[in-house]
Structure 1
Amino acid sequence: MATNDDLIIVASAACIIISDEEERQKRKRRWWMTSLFKSRSRYRGMDLLKDLTSEVEYGLFENFCRMKSADFEWLLNRIGPKIAKQNTSFREAIPPTERLMLTLRYLATGDSFTSLMYTFKISKQLISYIIPEVCSAIIESLDDYVKMPSNAEEWRSVAENFNTQWNFPHCLGAVDGRHCILQAPIDSGSDYFNYKQNFSIVLMGIADSNYTFLFADVGCQGRISDGGVLKNSVFWKKLQNSDLNLPPEEVPYVFVGDDAFSLHEHFLKAYPVEQKKGSKKRIFNYRLCRAQRVIENVFGIMSAVFRVLRKVMLLSPEKATTVVLTCVYLHNFLRESRHSRNLYTPPGTFDDDKDGTVMPGSWRKVRDRTSQSFVPMTKVGRKTSANCEAIRNEFSDYFMNEGRVDWQNDYA
C-alpha cells in the first residue's frame, strides 16, 4: 500500500514532467526560417552582384565594395575555399561571394548588423559569425602585404624614398596611433577607457613614404598611451634587441613620430617648445612634421574609405581587432593593386608638397570633425637622454648646412 511519502514523490515527478512538456511547447518554433530570409531565393547575392556590375560606367560595384571587380574576383579566389560552407537538408549555405560582399560592405559603411540583414536577407546572428570569419581569411590571404624590411638594403631603399620625397634622410618610417572606438566591453572595467572618455582599442602603425603600412599593431587597450603601445609591440622589442637588421651608419637610421613617443637613438620627435622662426630647431620640427604627415594621411584615407573605423563598433575587442587589422591589409592591397590603386587613392588624395607649400589632400575634405571615432593618441611629455638629444641636434645641424633646401626658411 502506498504511503503519503510515495504519493508525494509521484505527484512531484508528474509536476516535473508537465513542466518540462510546457517548456518544450514554449520553445517550439513557429517556423524554421522567417519569410524575409526565405525570399533570398528570389533575390540572391549573385543577382545583386550582376546588378552592380551591369552598368560599369556608373561605378556602382566599386562604390559598394571599394575595389574593382578584378580585385574582388582575385580576393574571392584566394579566400573562397576557406569560407565556403556545405549545404544541408535544412537550408542552402551562404555562398562565398555573398559572404565576401557582405564583409566588404560592412567595412565600407560600418552599418549595424540589423541594417545589413535587410540588405542581404541574412539574419544578424549569422552575420555576426560571417564577418569575423571572412576578415580572418582576408588577413591570412594577404599576409605578405604588410611586412617590414628584412635586411639593411631594403631599409636603405625605404630611407632613400623618404629623402627623395620628403627631404628627410635616414628615415625608415613614420609612426602614429589611433583610437578605434568600441561599445563598452563586458566586465572590462577601465581597461579600454581612454582619455576621450570612450572605450577603444589602439591601432599603432608605421608607414613608408609610399603611404603603405610596414607594420601594424592592433588591439591594445585604449587607456594606454602611444608610447606604451609602442613599447609593448613586437616592433619595439626587435628594435631594442637589434633584431631589425638596420643599416649600420655613424648617423643612426631613425623613425619619426609625435610627442606621444619618447626620444630614442632610433626614434626622433620634434623639439618640445615653440622655436624662433628660422632657427635650426624650428626648421628641424618643420622637416620632421613633413615626413611624419605620411602616417596621418594613411590613417585619413583608410578611414575615409572604410567607414567602419569612424563609427562605434558594436563588437568585442577581439572581433574589433580583427576588423581593424583587415582594413590595414586591404589598404596595402588596394594601394599596390594596378586595378584599384587609382580608385582607392586617385590623384590629389594625399597631401602634396610643392617646394614647401603643402596642398591638403582630398581625404581631409570628407573628414567628419564631429566624430569621436578613430581619434589621435594623447601626447605625453617625456624625458630624453643626452645621447638622444645629441642625435636630434645632429639632424638639426644637417638641415641648416649640407641638407639645406632653398624654401625651408620661408615656411619654418
Structure 2
Amino acid sequence: MNYLYLYSEWVWPNSEVGGVCFELGGALTACCCCLIWKAIKRCRLVRRRVWVHQILQRRNQLGEFHQLLQELRLDDGRFQRYFRLSRAQFDDLLFRVGERISLQDTNYRHCIPPAERLSICLRYLATGDSYRTIVSSFRVGVSTVCKIVPDVVIATWDCLVDEFMAVPSTDEWRSIAEGFEERWNFPLCCGALDSKHVQIKAPPNTGSQYFNYKGTFSLVLLAVVDARYCFQLIDVGVMGGRDAWMGYYFIRNRITKLIIRPPSICTNVSDQFSNPHPPAIR
C-alpha cells in the first residue's frame, strides 16, 4: 500500500486527500485513483486569458453593422440583396420585434442593440453562412450569435404569426376552395400540399430516426398553399426517417377539425355533385 500513498501524495500535494489511503488492493486501487484524478481535471476551471478579445472590443468602430450596413442604407438595391428585405421592411420588422429582442445594459458591458441583433439574424438566414463567418463579420462572440439567432427567430414568429400566418377561418377556406375551382378547375379543394427534406446534421444518439430515403439526415417541411401559391399552413419538425406522411396526417387532421361542415365550403359547385365529397388536399 506504500505505492498508493506515495501516488496520492504526488497527485494531491499539501492537501487532506494526500493522507487518504484506500483499503483496496492492487490494480483496482490504481484504477480508482486514475478515475478520481481525471474527474478532478475535468472539473478544474480554466481561467480565461482575456475577458473580451481585442478584435471584438472594436466592434463599434469596425464591425459590419456599424460600418458596411450604414453605407448600404444609402443604396436600396444593395440593401435588398444583403438582407433579402428592403429598408422599409427591415424598419417595420424592427419596430415589431424590437421590444422583444432588446436587453438591458449592465455595469459590466453594454448590450447589443435590437437593430444589430436583428441584422445578425437576418444575415444568417439570408446567406446560410456558418456562425463563425457571422462572428468574424459582426465582431461578436460565437456564443453570442448562438443565442441571438434562435431568440430573434422565435420573437419574429411570435410577432408575425397572427397577422401573416393565422389559421384560415371558415370563410377563408371557402374563398380558397372557390379559387381552386375558378383558377385550376379543382372543385372542393382546400389547398395544395407538398413537402421537402431539409438536410441537417444528425443529432447525437438518434440512430436512424432522421435518416431519409435519399440517404441523408433531414427534417421534413410541409406546407399548404392556396390557388395563388400563398402559404396557409406549415408544419416543420417531422424527423426525416418518418417521411412526410406524419406531417401530412397532422395537417389533414388540423384542417378537418377547423372545417365543421365540409359541404358548405364550396357554394358554387355544380349540381352534378348530389352528395358533396369532403374537401380534398391535392
TM-score calculated relative to the size of structure 2: 0.77
Q: Deviations for 1:328-353, whole angstroms, at most 9, x for unmatched residues?
A: xxxxxxxxxxxxxxxxxxxxxxxxxx
Counterpart in 2 of 1:246?
262
2:73 to 53, 56, 59: 53
Over 3 Å counting, the alpha-carbon distance change for 1:255 and 1:104 in structure 2 is farther
- Alignment RMSD (CA, Å): 2.8
Q: Deviations for 1:203-248, whole angstroms, at most 9, x for unmatched residues?
A: 11100122221111110110113223212x1x33344557455343
**Structure 1 segments unaligned to the other structure (5+ residues):** 258-412
CA distance in 2, matches of 1:46, 1:11: 53
**RCO (CA 8 Å, sep 6+): is it higher in 1 or 2?**
1
CA distance in 2, matches of 1:24, 1:181: 36
Whether the aligned pair in 2 keeps the contact of 1:155 and 1:246 (CA below 8 Å) is: no
Give the share of equivalent positions with the same residue, in percent. 34
Q: Deviations for 1:16-37, whole angstroms, at most 9, x for unmatched residues?
A: 9xx9xx9999722221111111
Counterpart in 1 of 2:88?
70
State the 1:49 CA deviation.
2.7
Over 3 Å counting, the alpha-carbon distance change for 1:15 and 1:76 in structure 2 is farther
Over 3 Å counting, the alpha-carbon distance change for 1:120 and 1:255 in structure 2 is farther
Q: Deviations for 1:298-353, whole angstroms, at most 9, x for unmatched residues?
A: xxxxxxxxxxxxxxxxxxxxxxxxxxxxxxxxxxxxxxxxxxxxxxxxxxxxxxxx
Counterpart in 2 of 1:130?
148
Over 3 Å counting, the alpha-carbon distance change for 1:239 and 1:38 in structure 2 is closer
Counterpart in 1 of 2:61?
42
Q: Deviations for 1:68-103, whole angstroms, at most 9, x for unmatched residues?
A: 111111110111111111122222211111111111
Counterpart in 1 of 2:177?
159
Question: Displaced runs of 4+ in structure 1, greater than 4 A?
Answer: 8-11, 22-26, 239-245
Q: Deviations for 1:141-165, whole angstroms, at most 9, x for unmatched residues?
A: 11121133221x3222112222332
Q: How does 1:284-363 map to 2 (within 5 A)?
A: none
TM-score calculated relative to the size of structure 1: 0.54
Over 3 Å counting, the alpha-carbon distance change for 1:244 and 1:132 in structure 2 is farther
Counterpart in 1 of 2:234?
216
- Kindly provide the amino acid, as one letter, of the partner of residue 135 in structure 1: V
2:16 to 9, 13, 17: 13
State the 1:13 CA deviation.
2.3
Q: Establish whether residue 169 from structure 1 lines up as the match of residue 172 from structure 2.
A: no
1:193 to 198, 203, 211: 211
Task: Pick the structure with greater CA Rg.
Answer: 2
1:165 is paired with a residue whose SS is: helix
CA distance in 2, matches of 1:40, 1:15: 49
CA distance in 2, matches of 1:171, 1:25: 63
2:117 to 76, 85, 99: 99
Whether the aligned pair in 2 keeps the contact of 1:150 and 1:244 (CA below 8 Å) is: no
- Kindly provide the amino acid, as one letter, of the partner of residue 168 in structure 1: F
Over 3 Å counting, the alpha-carbon distance change for 1:36 and 1:25 in structure 2 is farther
**Structure 2 segments unaligned to the other structure (5+ residues):** 20-36, 267-274
CA distance in 1, matches of 2:142, 2:243: 35
Counterpart in 1 of 2:139?
121
Over 3 Å counting, the alpha-carbon distance change for 1:213 and 1:170 in structure 2 is same
CA distance in 2, matches of 1:55, 1:127: 27
- Kindly provide the amino acid, as one letter, of the partner of residue 54 in structure 1: L
CA distance in 2, matches of 1:253, 1:87: 57
CA distance in 2, matches of 1:247, 1:61: 48
